[in-house]
Structure 1
Amino acid sequence: MRTFYFFLTILLIAIQINAQKFQNLALTPPMGWNSWNHFECDGVNETVIKEMADAMIINGLNDVGYQYIVIDDCWQVGRDTNGCIIVDKEKFPSGMKALADYVHSKGLKFGIYSDAGTKTCAGRPGSKGYELKDAETYAKWGVDYLKYDWCNTQGQDARETYAFMRDALFKAGRPIVFSMCEWGENKPWEWAQEVAHLYRTTYDIDMKGRFDGDIWGNQLGWTEILDKQVGLEKYAGPGHWNDPDMLAVGNSNMTTNEARAHFTMWCMLAAPLMAGNDLRSMSVNDKNILTNKALISVNQDELGKQGFKIEDFGNFEIWQKELSKGDIAICFFNREFNRKRYNIDWESIPIKNFIGKYSVIDLWNNQNIGTTESKFTIEIPSRDVVVYRLKKVL
């Protein structure tokens, strides 16, 4: 019996050594751009990807932390006799290695897409049965980020399937951020911390108001997705992030107020910040939202805490995010069409770990407005936020 347990222990150790993801990646939520929400299948090609990389630099998104340029679905058309994935030569005539080199030459990182099933969501070849081959191919191309979808996976076990691709990536030897797009069907927040660097918690955000013409609060609108993040904060942290899907800023029918609120709440959630708009032609307002350094510093805080709701008055909520050095982010979120007045008495708000005195910095207006010893009234515009950084006073 002792011999049996000895060999069982050796086997378990061997499994643990071989079954792992790359460590020290995505220690803060990944920031970048993905092709799907604007270009979908028909619009994506080599020229577009190069121009997005150029536009990321021209617009200074790289200066505030955006680094990944990710091609989503529709770059692949088949497999050769050796099982290697075939790139669509009409869309990507130079091939993926050359495109990755171009992105890298800009100081950015290159991402790609595949699917855990037999076919991708757009009907292109999936990775099922070819995981090792695909992982080796991505490593040779210089891929830095893999989004791995969950279409056409009938009969597959999510944990086993994603762990297999994780191991294939590790075996290939190139550190690649692994983004699970399993839509939260199997509660990945409970088990995916050791499998992926980020994992989707819901279905895709509705980009076009397909249900009621309003991306704000419909079946797949971002506020509905936000509500589904409540209670998941304990599962996120450096190297393993809850992913409520890509940003809709600049790519929907939202007003500036709504876009500002959406971006703010994703920052409060420590969510990956993956833009999906056309970076070549974005408005000044959208650029200002996506590049707000104060909010990005909240999202990218090294403590790696996901924000959580501390007050819920129906269509008015207060959220908190704990930050490094004892700082705290507090967001007042007005979900109504009408403006909201609120009297702030910091001592009466149930802020966790609120000890002592803090300076109060308005993050959207870049103003220091006093300390937490003062009481004052704020007005939150329709469908908007007011967000403060409480900075510990020593």
Structure 2
Amino acid sequence: MLRLKYVCLLGAVGVTALDNGIGKLPVLGYNTWNVFQCDYNDTVLLAQAQAMVQHGLLEAGYKWFMLDDCYSSKNRSTEGAIVADPQKFPSGMKNFTQKLKCLGFNAGIYSDAGYRTCGGFPGSYGNEAKDLETFSDWGFSYLKYDNCYIPFDSVTQENAYGRYKRMTDAIEARSKTTGSTPMQLALCEWGWQQPWIWAGRLGQSWRVDGDIRPWWSSLASIINLASFISSQTDFYARNDYDMLEVGNNDIGTPPGNLTFDEAKSHFTTWALLKSPLLIGTDLTKATAETISILANKDILKIHQDPDIGQAIAPFRWGKNADWTSDPQYPAQYWTGNSSYGVVFMLLNTLDTPQTMFFNLTESWAIRAGRVYSVYDMWSHTLNGTATRNMSVTVPPHGVSALLLNDVGPEPTGMEPFCAGYWQCTYPNGTYYSN
């Protein structure tokens, strides 16, 4: 296993956000790719939107419906515009987005910074302003922007930053010219050039890795990367860990799909990391278990916190030494602040149940010498109080998500006098010895 030094992990210190008035909070919604790829039409997609309404997901905050690749004809019009596939959208793209809006959704669409999309349809390189006008006219206000079919270096004379900036510039220019709200831009750069360092200057989110898969090893690998870059997320700019696979072909159905506990871990981690939450499963077949995970209001409340935009971050790795990169066993102990209390996430990356112990003051957000109430964000119950430390039993590949709130000073006379007793001194400068 690779053991990395602390100084090499931070990349940029903090994130530079493109604060243009949109995208303050991460989006919640649906994306068509992981379920349908290119095999869909407007009727099939509207059935997913209607299922979201029926299952209460729209009410829970999932207000975006994202149309991914393969929606267009293979060739542009004689005027050079992208043309919606008439077989998939026989009533036109405007009609489709109007139906989505009647249901209560905002609409997002997909394109590419190269000559073609990853599916081989017209990309937007060299046509940024024209395509932006088309997307806006169709009724879309969010753009997922991919990274396939890149022109030769001698053509672009730019790296990924410059190619993506062409669309950012087009968005800014159109907003100024028309007085309209800028379109949100989600960069899909796959993490090759560390977008968590620079992409916040261009868009509201950026993909950090390749495509997610609906099994535990894929989740663990992504969480391992997140262990080192979670601090790069804040208001208006955030790491995108790819789509939610919760409910893929029904939770717990082999081969390869997530168990119920793994699906809870997936959703909890993505939400508390403040990633965009875009459902990538067939909701017309969703079980009650699937909906119970996706609609967890306590977790979503942290995800949509209006006052604190930072993600949780590890305070201890657990199985491995701190700052160890291991795609099988990422960091297990995480914490962060919120408007509703101090967040703790305990992630059991092992194949057996584990009793996970920690000192409260391992979290930077905890005050020493205080007692904290403990709220479980999955059972939705208050579970007494904790003083100095606590233990939680977590199932294999499972998660515990806790919210702690200060309820007063700890009892007098507790020993050791400090939770970190090795740092504790008397007024005369001598160390306390446990």
TM-score under structure 2 length normalisation: 0.80
- Residue 60 of structure 2 aligns with an amino acid whose one-letter code is V
Counterpart Cα distance in 1 of 2:45 and 2:377: 32
Percent identity between the aligned chains?
Answer: 34
Structure with higher Rg: it is 2
Structure 1 equivalent of residue 194 of structure 2: 187
Q: Which residue of 1 aligns with 2:204?
A: 197
Aligned match for 1:324, one of 339, 344, 360: 339
1:344 Cα shift?
5.0
Measure, in 1, the Cα distance between the counterparts of 2:189 and 2:407: 43
Give the 5 Å matches for 1:33-48: 33-42=30-39, 44-48=40-44
Q: Deviations over 1:324-348 (max 9, x none)?
A: 26x211011111111112345434x
Q: Report the secondary structure of 1:251's partner residue.
A: coil
Q: Hey, which bits of structure 1, 4+ residues long, moved more than 6 A?
A: none
Distance 1:249 1:333 in 2: 17
Corresponding residue SS for 2:131: helix
Residue by residue, what CA displacement relative to the aligned partner does 1:138-184 show, whole Å, maximum 9, x if unpaired?
11111121111001114342111111101212333343211100111
Q: What secondary structure does 2:226 align onto?
A: coil
* Separation in structure 2 between the aligned mates of residue 57 and residue 113 of structure 1, nearest angstrom: 23
1:1-394 correspondence runs (5 A): 23-42=20-39, 44-77=40-73, 78-154=75-151, 155=153, 156=156, 157-173=159-175, 174=180, 175-207=182-214, 215-217=215-217, 221-251=218-248, 253-302=257-306, 303-314=308-319, 315=329, 317-324=332-339, 327-347=341-361, 350-355=362-367, 356-373=370-387, 376-393=390-407
| Structure 2 unaligned blocks of 5 or more | 1-16, 250-256, 320-328, 409-434
Say if 1:231 and 1:343 are closer, same or farther in 2 by CA, change over 3 A: closer
Give the whole-Å Cα distance in 1 for the aligned partners of 2:164 and 2:293: 34
3-state SS in 2 of match to 1:72: coil
Secondary structure, counterpart of 2:83 in structure 1: strand
Give 3-state SS (helix, strand or coil) of 1:117's partner: coil
CA RMSD of aligned residues (A): 1.8
Aligned residues between the structures: 361
Alpha-carbon distance change, 255 to 368 in structure 1, aligned in 2, over 3 angstroms? same
The one-character-per-residue Cα deviations of 1:348-377 (angstroms, maximum 9, x if unpaired) are xx1112113322101100110122227554
Unpaired runs of at least 5, structure 1: 1-19, 208-214
Q: Give TM-score, length-normalised by structure 1.
A: 0.87
Deviations 1:12-32 (A, max 9, x none): xxxxxxxx9672222111110
CA contact (8 A) 2:318 2:332 kept: yes
CA contact (8 A) 2:23 2:184 kept: yes
- Tell whether the 8 Å contact from 1:135 to 1:169 is kept in structure 2 after alignment: yes
Counterpart for residue 211 of structure 1: none
Deviation at 1:249, TM superposition (A): 0.8
Summarize the Cα distance change of 1:375–1:240 in structure 2 as closer, same or farther, 3 Å threshold: closer
